[in-house]
Amino acid sequence: MNEKIVFFDIDGTLLTEEKVLPESTKKAVRMLQEKGIYTAIATGRSPQMFEWILEELHIDSYVSINGQYVVFEGKEIYSNPMDLSLLNDLTSMVESNGHAIAYCHDHHITVNEENHPLVLSSYNSLKINYPPVSREFYKQTSVFQGHLFCQPQEEETYIQRFPECSFIRWHEHAIDILPKGCSKAIGIGKMLDVIGISNENCYAFGDGLNDLEMLTSVGIGIAMGNAVPEAKAAADLITTSCYEDGIFNGLKELGILV
């Protein structure tokens, strides 16, 4: 039998808006594992932001930081740090504009400003504490992604200034900053190469703007019922929402679970 793997986004897919992991989702993941199907996370979050989910679901493989840092069965298999000169330029512009930026390492996040209201509201939405403050962190270690905190109307100046980057909004006041061309799909490809699973036997569930490449690149992409319109348009299948057993129902509709 051909081996299969299923990737799951976290926010709005595995977790509800209240950051609750539904019982039906726990059951679905457990049933996949009992059938010998690989299960993995694919998220924009840094690993330390979802350790509890890995433990709860007994998962040890993940594509994190929007494809920038990939682990298979507990071992790092791919990492793609951002260029230091780019981070210097980003930081200079952010600070001159009075905005804030966070630096995402594989096991740490720091932010350049204390008690910034947009940082607070953005991370509160994920139920994550305000990160430690450091203006030197990005100069001393690998940074895989930035989080820019600004008003929606202020984003365009950064897009124009840094065409070599992708800017993906995940909150009213927060944007992922990645090198252009990087995505969850790249990280998934790295993992498939290591395992030796064909793309046609790869499935992915997602709901957000940072899931578009993933949903179109895998064998079958499944959008949650609560997904943004762009994700639904990119998917092969639309399941019910994360509040309505969407993962379990999607796997049943595909015939993977019965």
Residue type, position 55, single letter:
E
> What 3 state SS string does 128-146 have?
CCCCCECCCHHHHCCCCEE
Contact criterion met (CB below 8 Å) for 50 and 43: yes
Contact criterion met (CB below 8 Å) for 64 and 76: no
236 noted as active-site residue: no
Catalytic residue among 9, 106, 211, 245: 9
Contact criterion met (CB below 8 Å) for 198 and 179: no
Determine how many CB atoms are found less than 10 A away from the CB of residue 198.
Answer: 12
CA-closest candidate to residue 100, choices 86, 120, 83? 120
Contact criterion met (CB below 8 Å) for 119 and 129: no
3-state secondary structure at position 97 = coil
Q: What is the DSSP string of 3-37?
A: --EEEE-TBTTTB-TT----HHHHHHHHHHHHTT-
- Give the whole-angstrom CA distance, residue 204 versus residue 39: 10
Which residues are catalytic, by number?
Answer: 9
